Structure 1
Amino acid sequence: MDHVIAVRQLRVRSRDKTLVGPVSFTVEHGSTTGLCGPSGAGKSTILRALVELLPNGLTRDGELQVLDRTIAPGKGDADLRAQIVLVPQMPVVFGGSILDNALFGLRHVLRASQDVLKERAEKALEEAGLWKEVADRLDSPAQNLSAGQRQRLCLARALALEPAGLLLDEPTSALDERSRDKVEQSIAALHGRRAVLLVSHDPSQVERLCDTTVNLDQPAATSPAAAAVS
């Protein structure tokens, strides 16, 4: 399988202090990789480092390759973030319709007719496992969706970009069991078609969904996190 994401000795630093890492791993096309570790180990920080969205004052070093393209620190761009898309822990739903939300990112990277855009959005909603629930109300306010539906809408928004990889940050942590199961079904359906890097605090979820696990062993607040791949 081809590497979609490959990192070697990646660290996140605040000036001379290492906060996270070093960590090395690859995410293959069609596979789901779990990124695990205790609270404070820096899991979400690593996801942000991969798409150059670290908070001000933090930097990364080490080698990062996306689709065989080496990304120098600080040199990520909108093109990178369309190829490797971060879906945050809390679903962000904008004002407007369900369709508007599904198209939000795509409108910024693809110049196409409304029909073409809508077709991409509908395909993404289906891939995210939400189409059957919203097909007859695409013009309804997205704010009316349940928490689980909002999370799948955010997944659809990312999938509409047709990315090579998805970074999912605790996608079910705020959901009830029924909504969690639906989101997990959507993630499982991506297996074989997308490269997925999943941050989860739930070992059983990682076991259900992931082919490979990257473990961040220690909280970054007390000690630099060393990573082992299992």
Structure 2
Amino acid sequence: MDHVISVRDLRVLDGKKTLVGPVTFDLKQGSTTGLCGPSGAGKSTVLRALVDLLPHGLVRDGHLEVLGRPFRHGKGDSGLRSTVVLVPQTPVVFGGSILDNALFGLRHLVRASRSDLNDRVEQALKEAGLWNEVCNRLDTPAQSLSNGQRQRLCLARALALEPAALLLDEPTSALDERSRDTVEASVAALRGNRTVLLVSHDPAQVERLCDRTVRLELPETLTCSPAAAA
């Protein structure tokens, strides 16, 4: 299947008022697509609409297909949450060890032996570029990690679910330059292997990491173009 996600005329509504959209785009298998635009255009809102995590009172309208299957707003389909996974802007680290954090989603959504789960976590940590830094201290508190390491831990937690698509919401905006470069390297390594939708306020970052861009404007318009680096 060429398109992992197909979005047609997606809007986010507050009652009868349109806050975002209409938006139409496709995410191709193995592609990294940048979603960019000015502050207030609704980039993060689009991501949350795709996984039914909109704030109370807002609804998604339009057509959404994931792997050829239509999803309607508010149907409570847990399959969507494990198929399309959102990694938020601020890394969410729970109390407990690094391993506990990496296993969090798997424990809730996947039936497998502890050994199999640990193997999936190890692979995910490697894919996120964090394994070599934590492999000898998986039992230490996750709170001991730096901000950049926490962001990569959240990325690994998502990757362990083996999702069809990853939604990354400003993954480097709260990081210093060195941590930003490390997280960018992890995202760049996914290119061609994972389907990624990346929200960024930084056009240069989108150019570095993405195959194409979807640009949201404050008026209800949408333009798509190849990234300069593609």
TM over 0.5: yes
2: CA distance, partners of 1:182 / 1:61: 37
Question: Within 5 A, what are the aligned runs for 1:76-225?
Answer: 76-218=76-218, 223=219, 225=220
* Residue 193 of structure 1: how far off its partner (Å): 1.1
Q: Any idea what the Cα deviations from partners look like across 1:72-100, whole Å, max 9, x if unmatched?
A: 22225221110100000000000000000
2: CA distance, partners of 1:21 / 1:91: 27
1:195 is matched by which residue type in structure 2?
A: T
Aligned to 1:161, the other structure's residue is in SS state coil
Is residue 60 from structure 1 mapped to residue 55 from structure 2 by the alignment?
Answer: no
Q: Any idea what the Cα deviations from partners look like across 1:11-50, whole Å, max 9, x if unmatched?
A: 0000110000001000111000000010110000000000
Aligned to 1:53, the other structure's residue is in SS state coil
Unaligned runs of 5+ in 1: none
Is residue 228 from structure 1 mapped to residue 223 from structure 2 by the alignment?
Answer: yes
2:228 alignment counterpart: none
2:72 alignment counterpart: 72
1: CA distance, partners of 2:123 / 2:140: 18
* Residue 157 of structure 1: how far off its partner (Å): 0.3
1: CA distance, partners of 2:10 / 2:190: 26
2: CA distance, partners of 1:126 / 1:3: 26
Given that 1:51 and 1:76 are in contact with CA atoms closer than 8 Å, whether structure 2 keeps it comes out as no
Given that 1:4 and 1:165 are in contact with CA atoms closer than 8 Å, whether structure 2 keeps it comes out as yes
Q: Alignment RMSD, CA only?
A: 0.9
Q: Any idea what the Cα deviations from partners look like across 1:172-194, whole Å, max 9, x if unmatched?
A: 00001110011011101111111
Given that 1:106 and 1:161 are in contact with CA atoms closer than 8 Å, whether structure 2 keeps it comes out as yes
Query: Normalising to structure 1: TM-score of the pair?
Result: 0.96
Q: Any idea what the Cα deviations from partners look like across 1:85-132, whole Å, max 9, x if unmatched?
A: 000000000000000000000101112221111111111000000000
1:82 is matched by which residue type in structure 2?
A: S
1: CA distance, partners of 2:166 / 2:133: 23
2: CA distance, partners of 1:200 / 1:97: 30
* Residue 228 of structure 1: how far off its partner (Å): 1.1
Aligned to 1:117, the other structure's residue is in SS state helix
2: CA distance, partners of 1:164 / 1:60: 21
2: CA distance, partners of 1:201 / 1:78: 30
2:136 is matched by which residue type in structure 1?
A: D
The sequence identity of aligned pairs, in percent, is 72
The number of equivalent residue pairs is: 225
1: CA distance, partners of 2:4 / 2:181: 27
